């Protein structure tokens, strides 16, 4: 008798497990297309799409690019860097008649796009930022060793990152791409670490000559700024 009861209980347990499994499958197959968001004590309930995957749920936590940019612009560090570029770099380029409102500028190793933002604030409308990681809306993803632009597409190639050249995987290739994408008689303007010998930096640029170099401070970092003038002639690299 005891064995009979045990077998009956086992059958009931298996049946209940089967029913529970079927109910769960039915629930997943017919999950609601929306879920309630908010609290009735504060306002009427609103409907929002119900996330079907963890990726959908995570995507809702992504900060809007414009809001993220606004937050960065309000930071002291962003303002200091923009001020340094506007007072220590852009005036020199303007004095040499290299930077105009109509200039096409490529910012390489642009990070979050501070140089792009500073150029826009200075009245330069055509400024493009690239880096290995994109940062909308100012910076798009591109490899400085293989820039996705036509030859001579820009009047100025600029990098305010002191490690852009010397920290590149292939500095000679970095320099060759900068020379390829800048127009003849255009400028390549770089920030480099102050302890780096300028002759070493210049050796990477076979088709450009040093036009001007000076010491500057960008966001508290002591750097050397150097302007290369792209020579006329065919790139031999």
Is 59 domain-assigned?
no
**Tens digit of pLDDT for each residue in 166-225?**
999 999 999 999 999 999 999 999 999 999 999 999 999 999 999 999 999 998 889 999
Q: Strand pairing of 46-49 and 104-108?
A: unpaired
Is 110 domain-assigned?
yes
pLDDT at 236 over 60: no
pLDDT tier for residue 89 given thresholds of 50, 70 and 90: very high
The domain that holds 180 is classified in CATH as: 3.40.50.150
| Residues 116, 135: Cα–Cα separation, whole Å | 11
Give pTM, 2 decimals.
0.72
Is 141 domain-assigned?
yes
| Count of structural domains, the chain | 1
Is 138 domain-assigned?
yes
- How high is the pLDDT of residue 55? 53
pLDDT at 70 over 50: yes
Is 103 domain-assigned?
yes
- Domain span at 81: 67-230
How many helices (DSSP H) and strands (DSSP E) are in the chain? 8, 9
140-167 as b/e, with b when 16 or more CB fall inside 10 Å? eebebeebebeebbbbbbbbbbbebbee
Q: Are 85 and 118 in contact (CB under 8 A)?
A: yes
**Tens digit of pLDDT for each residue in 118-169?**
999 999 999 999 999 999 999 999 999 999 999 999 999 999 999 999 999 9
Q: Strand pairing of 126-131 and 46-49?
A: unpaired
Is 164 domain-assigned?
yes
How many C-beta atoms lie closer than 10 Å to residue 211's C-beta? Answer: 16
| Residues 57, 149: Cα–Cα separation, whole Å | 36
3-class DSSP string for 85-129: HHHHCHHHHHHCCCCCCCCEEEEECCCCCHHHHHHHHCCCCEEEE
Is 235 domain-assigned?
no
């Amino acid at each position: 008798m005891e064995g009979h009861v045990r077998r009956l209980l086992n059958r009931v347990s298996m049946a209940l497990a089967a029913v529970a499994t079927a109910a769960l499958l039915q629930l997943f197959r017919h999950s609601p297309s929306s879920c309630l968001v908010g609290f009735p004590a504060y306002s009427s309930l609103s409907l929002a799409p119900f996330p079907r995957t963890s990726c959908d749920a995570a995507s809702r936590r992504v900060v809007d690019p414009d809001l993220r940019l606004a937050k960065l612009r309000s930071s002291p560090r962003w303002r200091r860097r923009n001020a340094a570029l506007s007072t220590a770099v852009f005036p020199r380029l303007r004095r040499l008649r290299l930077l105009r409102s109509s200039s096409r500028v490529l910012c390489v190793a642009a990070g979050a796009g501070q140089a792009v933002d500073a150029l826009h604030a200075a009245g330069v409308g055509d400024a493009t930022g690239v880096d290995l990681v994109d940062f909308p809306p100012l910076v798009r993803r591109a490899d400085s060793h293989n820039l996705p632009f036509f030859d001579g597409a820009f009047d100025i190639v600029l990098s305010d990152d002191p490690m852009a050249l010397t920290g590149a995987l292939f500095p000679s290739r970095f320099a060759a791409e900068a020379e390829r994408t800048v127009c003849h008689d255009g400028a390549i303007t770089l920030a480099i670490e102050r302890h780096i010998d300028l002759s070493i930096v210049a050796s990477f640029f076979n088709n450009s000559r040093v036009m001007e170099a000076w010491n500057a401070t960008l966001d508290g970092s002591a750097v050397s700024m150097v302007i290369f003038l792209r020579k006329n002639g065919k790139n031999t690299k």
